[in-house]
Chain A
Amino acid sequence: MDTQYLKHVDSVDGSELRLLMDQYGDDVWKYAYVLTKDREQAKDIAQEVFIKVHNSIHFFRGQSSLKTWLLTITRNLSFNYLKSSYFRRILLFGTVKPRQTNPSAELAYLGKQSVSELWDIILKSSDKLREVLVLDLEHELSVQEIATLLNLPTGTVKSRLHRARKEVEEKLKGWGQ
């Protein structure tokens, strides 16, 4: 779906919103899940994002891609949830249930770990490293898009990405020994 025209519209109808949800729903859910580590909350946040898109599409200026804009909204809503949880409730850590796949040769070399364990490592990284890694790995944003979304210099994004990858690889190697 070509979405650039959305920067010129004041509203989206039901069918357009559905197309957006078809195209970006999973991305929004995954990002909310990576940030909150809570499947049910990720579901609520993801729905809230698209309701906000419907109400606020006229604020989309096209300066970033629509995906980056959606993930920015997701991030803000997720952090709102996290902060209220942090201060008032005990946050329950959701367990990762990724699908199983055959590991690549490199993965086999690094310790023949399953994909679920790989994601376990990723989700246990520090917040800042995990966030840039997932935006790069899962959402395939460019460094510039990540920098825009996180309001960081591109140098910082590259640095964190490098550290995040190293951290994951160190842990994978540690398992292989």
Chain B
Amino acid sequence: MNEKKPEWYNDAKGGLGHALFDEQMKKDVIRRIQDQQPKRSKYGFWTAAAIAVAICIVAFLLVIPSLTKDVVPSPAGTQTPDIESTPPTPEPTDTIPPSETPIATPDDQVQLAYMDLANTIGNYPVEFNRIEANRIAKSSVIVKRVIEYGDQGNFLIYTKDEKDTQLYSGMEILTGGQGSEPKPDIYELGTVGELPYLNDIEVKGSNLFGQYQIHIYGVCGANCVTNNWIHFDEATPVVPISDFRLNAHVFEMDIDEDGTMEAIASESSTISKIEIYKKINGQIKIADLNIALNAEHPNSVIFDNEKRIFKAIFPNYNLSYQYKKGEDTLELVDNSQVTTDQDRLMTGAVYEEKDSIESKWTEWKSTLNGIRTLK
């Protein structure tokens, strides 16, 4: 922003005070961390012991074969040089220039490491704390849109002030069973994007993580979306509960074909990032595919939801992977290394000197799109 900062900034800055995070607070942090450490070192010891045992077993297995070979030492003075051990003189060959960018041999399979969400706070656009919806008076909000949702009641999309552009979603409370009249209160479910995108809001059923949920989708900007999944617990009947919210484009899919739906999130800013959220032993965990495929910034990972392919994009080549059925493993399915060298055109194309690089690139893309359409 080129706008000059107002002068009152100088007066306001620091106005909340200094040394607010005082010495006692710092000592408390250190003490709490030290209190955690005895448990960590205990587990660390057992982990190290297990690794040492494993190494000993492997070493033992490697040593056994060599112990079975009987080598008779030759008498002194009888050893003769092994002529055949002299390496032959290499024949001259054409020099093959190395490729400008060496491409690492890709792994055929990549094991995914699912992480606890609690350990990733701040790194991903996800919230996973449990929220029980609060009741508010319908009269206190300005309803902008009503979304009917079968017999379970309507969803109201509203603002809280005439000047406000922040949209919220709320669920009507029925007086009796399904199809009955709504009460004057609603359950507030949370924010759902901005007013200009009122008509982009969607409410639909979902079976994410193997549980019946209602998925509320909203748009908050050019590249900004909100997703909120709500469900109901027997312990708190009628009250909508949310324990998973995602501010990224998402595909719900049973990617590992184990019968339970996962959430595949796609973020795009300077690069494209893909994460998979999966419920494991009752906990939602996350796998970062950019990390798994060594495709972190400035590289990208994209997801083709129709083909169920994860594509890691590097400067001079792409690698495509598919989720292995029933396992948390990605399999390399297409080692397509498409070069984008400025001095050469796409494989299979004929370069005519009159053609510009750009026109050939456009032509190639059109051809590719045509092939995809036919499929």
Contacts and interface: CB of A to CB of B under 8 A. Distances in A.
A137 interface: yes
A104 B29 contact: no
25 contacts: A26-B19, A26-B20, A30-B16, A33-B16, A47-B25, A47-B28, A47-B29, A51-B29, A51-B33, A52-B122, A59-B120, A59-B122, A80-B127, A80-B129, A83-B129, A98-B15, A104-B8, A106-B7, A107-B7, A107-B11, A115-B12, A118-B11, A126-B164, A152-B224, A165-B6
B247 interface: yes
A143 B1 contact: yes
Interface stretch (B81-89, B130-138, B330-338): B130-138
A28 B21 CA distance: 8
A1 B27 CA distance: 20
Interface string B339-365: 000000000000000000000000000
B9 interface: yes
Nearest to B28: A47
Contacts of A14: 30, 33
Contacts of B296: 61
A138 interface: yes
Given A26-B19, A76-B122, A155-B222, 12 more contacts: A17-B33, A22-B26, A52-B121, A61-B296, A87-B131, A87-B133, A99-B17, A101-B11, A101-B15, A103-B11, A107-B7, A156-B221
Contacts, number: 148
Interface string A109-132: 010000110110010001010000
Interface residues of B, number: 50
Given A110-B8, A168-B8, A151 B247 contact: yes
Interface in B100-141: 119-123, 125, 127, 129, 131-134
A50 B223 CA distance: 31
A28 B222 CA distance: 29
Interface string A63-83: 100000100110111011001
Contacts of A84: 129, 131
A169 interface: yes
A77 B121 contact: yes
Contacts of A115: 11-12, 15
B1 A50 contact: no
A96 interface: yes
Contacts of A151: 125, 224, 247
